[in-house]
Structure 1
Amino acid sequence: MPVELRKTDDADARALSDAACAAAQFAYAKYSRFRVGAAVATAGGIYTGANVENASYGLTLCAERAAIAKAVTSGDLALSRIAVACVDAAPGDGLNAAMPCGACRQWFVEFDPGLQVLIWTPAGDIYQFTARDLLAVPFVLG
């Protein structure tokens, strides 16, 4: 079943997306020139991350996982929302060019299948999903 596209523009979603856009400015995107930022909201605050590329693409760290790792290593496991901003996607590229990879989707589900995922597009729109929307049948141990 296709996922329903839901736009949002509440003040908290906009502020978290703005933080993700700001984080993208710190990306190390030497190879793709595709800067991505992420911002995770928790009960303890907001944690940001940016993509860090490597010549061996498989070793690249996505912005989403960088932000989540920062929250987790700060002892803050109660993730409530994550915003993702692909600032170098062209406005006409559409939503698909801004979506998280499969590895990041699995990370979202690891912490909360109901995690709210906000996708900012260069057109200025913010789409809202849950981790479960984006990865309907995740790998789960036990």
Structure 2
Amino acid sequence: MNKESLINEAKKIREKAYVPYSEFPVGAALTTKSGKVYTGCNIENAAFPVTCCAERVAIFKAIADGEREFSEMAVVADTERPVPPCGSCRQVMSEFFKPTMTVHLTNLHNNTKTVSVEELLPFSFQPDDLHNKE
């Protein structure tokens, strides 16, 4: 799937966001190495800490479906600049995506910034950090 198609998928799913509190819908679309596309939108809750961002919804849907290898992701919101993922989403991305994987950050004005996962979260906490090397 090309970049524009992936961004369009993120825009379409953004319309399904459940955002009665922030009124800030976000959409994300993720491609896997097998060619499948997983989409996600943010889903809010009155107990704000249990809200889930669009990026994590798409990633978790893919993981729950057995996918483990990913190609690229697009994230879109109605912002002035290309929408940046929150810290929680960046950490989840660093867990499941290779550091060199492409992430397209965009807005409804077609301003796009393409970055790698490593650029989004340099020096991220990794699974190997959990293992005592002594």
2:85 corresponds to 1:100: yes
Asked if 1 retains the 8 angstrom alpha-carbon contact of 2:27 and 2:40, the reply is yes
TM-score, length of structure 1 as denominator length: 0.84
% identity of equivalent residues? 37
The ranges of structure 1 where at least 4 consecutive aligned residues each deviate by more than 3 angstroms after the TM superposition are: none
Q: Is 1:31 matched up with 2:21?
A: yes
Q: CA deviation at 1:94?
A: 2.1
Secondary structure at the aligned position of 2:62 is classed as: helix
**Residue-by-residue CA offset, 1:31-81 (whole Å, 9 max, x unaligned):** 000000000001231000100001122111000000001111111111110
Equivalent residue number for residue 132 of structure 2: none
**1:72-95: CA deviation from partner (whole Å, max 9, x where unpaired):** 111111111010011x33xxx223
1:70 lines up with 2:61 in the alignment: yes
Q: Any gaps of 5 or more consecutive residues in structure 1? A: 1-10
Provide the C-alpha distance between the structure 2 equivalents of 1:12 and 1:125, rounded to a whole number of angstroms.
16
Q: 1:79 aligns with which of 55, 64, 70?
A: 70
Task: Name the counterpart of 2:111.
Answer: 125
| 1:109 aligned onto 2:100 | no
Aligned pair count?
A: 126
